[in-house]
Structure formats: structure tokens, C-alpha cells
Chain A
């Protein structure tokens, strides 16, 4: 039995950690959530695809006020992973505009979320500077 669970169902921890997306079989639109149909073309069949683990930071913010339990400041952003946009925190970097800039190259990294009463660790993800 695994003693680790992913924070979300589209994070794969086995082997090299990576994200997956639900890709519309008709138009190729990609989604991370459970789907009823494709918002772009209305088709209702999807297959699972792997998302590139390296990308470019397209937008970010440094959040200083957040929900209880979330350490601040932290960097939130959108990463362009070879054409698939991913929402994530930027991790392993000082939360400071001198160290984070749009256009920077980043790669997927896993982060711990916590351990539950049964001793199972939840593992999340972020993107860290690639160079």
C-alpha cells in the first residue's frame, strides 16, 4: 500500500512525477478537471495525455494575504508547458520580484502537503527554476 497520495488526481507520482490532462479526442483541448463535455467543441470523449514537465512562466504574482494555513508570501503563476497552460505555485525560489520574472524557464517539482492521521503523506506540485 502506498503511503503517498497526490494532492490532485492529475498529478502522477509513480516513476518520474508528471501531470496529466484530459484531452478532447475531437479538437485536442486540454483540461485538468473531471469533464461533462468539451467547452471548445462539445464532444464528450477524452483521453489522458502526459503534460510536459518543463515550461516557461507566463504570468505570476506574489501573494501576501491568503487563506488560513497557507504560508505567505508565496509565488503563484501560470506555466506554459509546451502549449498547455498549467496553474501552479513557483517553488524553491525566494518570493521576491528580483528572483521571479515572466519568461523564466521552470520545471515540475513535488512538494509535501502534509501527513494525515493514518500516516499517509499528501504530495503536491509546483514549478522551480530550471537553471
Chain B
């Protein structure tokens, strides 16, 4: 078996509005921060994995090198929807596991402040006479005419599908999930928003796609995160202080969705997440009951509920009871999204899959300040990108 891979350095920028910084500025801030945290320099790095969606064809990784260090190493520019950051991290880990290098750098960055609704893609150009186009032979745009392709609407359906299957998933329940994450964010100085909302405020806010109101949707913002990962043999050559703060990557998994009835009609975010979680628990040799905290992909409040089940934090069908027990609040048995989650911390798409890992690593290092989960030893970070791609990483504190 390939040797273990460790996080040696990791950094997350403040999430929010950064009008004065461009994509490369933010990426550089995260990368330099992670290198400094690791005690290494660009010349020590053997592979760079770079994630950015808004300029996916612009070779962001090379643009970043031109600002922080051109050392001739291979660059992998990756794009995998909202799982882009986790994919970049996974690429760096795979390069180390493959024995190609001892040190990898993964960076994810996005500038999304002011971006509107993230909608779907079937906007065919309309001519003045009907003519069938595309794979459905459509004579007009389908989004809005045959269901919805908007993200809030897609994930709203995913939440209500869970209600149809198991019951109990009411508008108010989803609002209470959002209440939790916004409450958690008040302790996170790097979150986009640090404002507590009451359930009533959340339910009475602007309705985007029932049952998701505005505070129940992920916040578009700017941000970046980066991680330096090293092989275990490299780690053992470093200082005791570096070894003490290093965080073990016990599992690194990326899945796509296997075919299921309906998966091409409404995206199935469940099957691939369950598969990723199962593989991750197997790789790490830990179970959901061992997790001291979880950062999961609450792109909408409706998504958080189904992922309690998909990540096996509760018995199948038991997500509503699990949430109602208080388990996922920061003082509960399985704290979920103590960072504030995507709804409050924010969701700069390509940064998210590394920022979630940063949150877990910071707790495992005991460096999370006011929001520290005391004694945290094991944590899980999950992201999902529609299309679909799911990344799960399980991290453990150095012993």
C-alpha cells in the first residue's frame, strides 16, 4: 500500500468581498499562506494542482506560478464543479501516493461576489421560427418550461424528495438547519456573514425556490484556500514542531454518480455521496461514530439534511430525527458545519473543497480559537459538485 499523505500547511483567506484583489491575488494569498504554514517554499513543491471555474480555460495554475514561483513543476488545472477544490487536493495526494513527488500544493480560488443565481445551461438561442435543437429536439429553452435547472430549485427538490421518502422534512425544519449554521458562523472571523438569524427571520426572508429562502442558500463570495501535502517519509525528515502540527489524511475519495433510474432527470446527489463515504470510512478505518466534527456541502439547507443520511451520520431515513436531537449543533454529538457552512461562511466554488479541509485541520490542530471543538481528533470534509462529483476527506490529528 502507498504511504500515508499528510497536510503540512494549509491556509484559507477571509471569505467575502475582495473588490481590490483579482483571482491570482487571492490564490497567491492562499498559496503563500499554506507554504508559510508548512515551512516550505515553492522550490520544495513537486506538483501544483490548481482549481478555478470562472476562468477555467485561462491556466490559472500557471498564472499563479508567474506571481509566486516558476520552478518548472507540472501543473494540473482542474475543474469539477463545486468539487473543484477537493479535486485539486486529490490530484496532489495522488501524485504523492504514486511516488512521483514528496510535496504537492493544491489551490482553489473563486471570485463570485455579486454573481446572481447560478442557473442551468439549456438556454438555446431562439430564432423567429421554431426549429428543434439539441439532444431533446427542443424548439425553445427548457429551463423553467420543463422543470427547473436553477441550483436552488434542484436542491429544493432533493430535500422534498427526502420528505416524500421518509417524512418530517418541513419548511420549518430546513429553516432550523439554516439557523444552526448562521449561529455557528458568529464564531468564525473568516466567514462571509457572522450574523445570527431567528427561524422566523429565515422563513420570512425572500423566497428563492421553496422551501429555500435566501439565508438557506449558499452565499456567493470571493475566497481562496490552499494546502501543502507531503509524504510520510518526507514529514519524518522535518522538525518536531512541523510533525506535531501535521494532519494525517486518512482517506481521500472522489466519486461520480453511477447510473440510477431518474439520475438524468433530477441529479442524484445521494448515491455518489454514500459511495464516497463508504470508501472513505473503509480507507480510514474509522466509522461515522468516531467523527468529532463534519464539514458537509450545505449549498442549500435542503442539501444538508440529505447528507446527514448519505454520510451515514444517522440511520437510513433518520436525518430528521438526527437533526431534531440537536446532534449537529456545535455542542452536539456530531457537530456539523461549525464554520457556518456554505450558507454563512460562503461558497467561493473552487475554494470550498479545500476550505472545508482547512476548517477540520484547524480544529484537529487545536487552533480554531473561539469555535474550537475541544479534543477533536477525527473529522470529515465533504463536497459535491452537480454533474456530479463528490469528494470526501477524513483527517486525523497527529499522535
Contact = CB atoms under 8 A, between A and B. Distances in A.
Chains A and B form a bound pair: yes
30 contacts: A5-B132, A5-B139, A7-B139, A7-B142, A8-B139, A8-B146, A9-B132, A9-B137, A10-B136, A32-B264, A59-B160, A59-B161, A59-B266, A61-B153, A61-B154, A61-B157, A62-B209, A64-B210, A66-B143, A66-B150, A67-B143, A76-B148, A85-B265, A89-B147, A114-B140, A116-B129, A116-B130, A120-B129, A122-B140, A125-B146
Contacts of B156: 61
Given A59-B266, A70-B144, A65 B259 contact: no
Given A29-B259, A67-B144, A97-B171, 19 more contacts: A7-B138, A7-B140, A8-B136, A8-B142, A9-B138, A32-B265, A34-B136, A34-B137, A64-B208, A65-B209, A67-B123, A70-B144, A73-B210, A76-B148, A77-B157, A78-B157, A78-B265, A102-B163, A120-B129
A29 B145 CA distance: 24
Interface in B224-270: 259, 261-262, 264-266
Interface in A17-48: 29-34, 39-40
Interface residues of A, number: 50
Contacts of B117: 65
Contact of B259 (A39, A88, A89): A39
Contact of B138 (A8, A29, A120): A8
A60 B136 contact: no
Contacts of A85: 261-262, 265-266
In this complex, the member of A62, A74, A86, A122 whose beta carbon has the largest number of chain B beta carbons within 10 angstroms is A62
A8 B141 CA distance: 10
Contacts of A9: 132, 136-138
Nearest to B257: A39
Contacts, number: 152
A93 interface: no
A30 B123 CA distance: 24
Given A7-B139, A9-B137, A65-B208, A122 B130 contact: yes
A103 interface: yes
A105 to B, nearest CB: 13
A1 interface: no
A38 to B, nearest CB: 8
A37 B152 CA distance: 31
A29 B142 contact: no
Contacts of B138: 7-9
Interface in B194-239: 206-212
A116 B128 contact: yes
Nearest to A40: B259
Q: Which residue among A65, A84, A118 has the maximum number of chain B CB atoms within 10 Å of its CB?
A: A65
Contacts of B209: 61-65
Lowest 8 A-B CB distances belong to which pairs? A9-B137, A70-B144, A61-B156, A85-B262, A102-B164, A59-B161, A62-B210, A33-B135
A124 B146 contact: yes
Nearest to A114: B140
Contacts of B265: 32, 78, 85-87
Contacts of A7: 138-140, 142, 145-146
Contacts of A30: 261
Contacts of A88: 146-147
Interface string B68-97: 000000000000000000000000000000
A122 B139 contact: yes
B36 to A, nearest CB: 42
B28 interface: no
A122 to B, nearest CB: 5
Contact of B261 (A62, A67, A83): A83
A63 B365 CA distance: 43
Interface string A91-124: 0000001000011000000000110111010101
Contacts of B206: 64
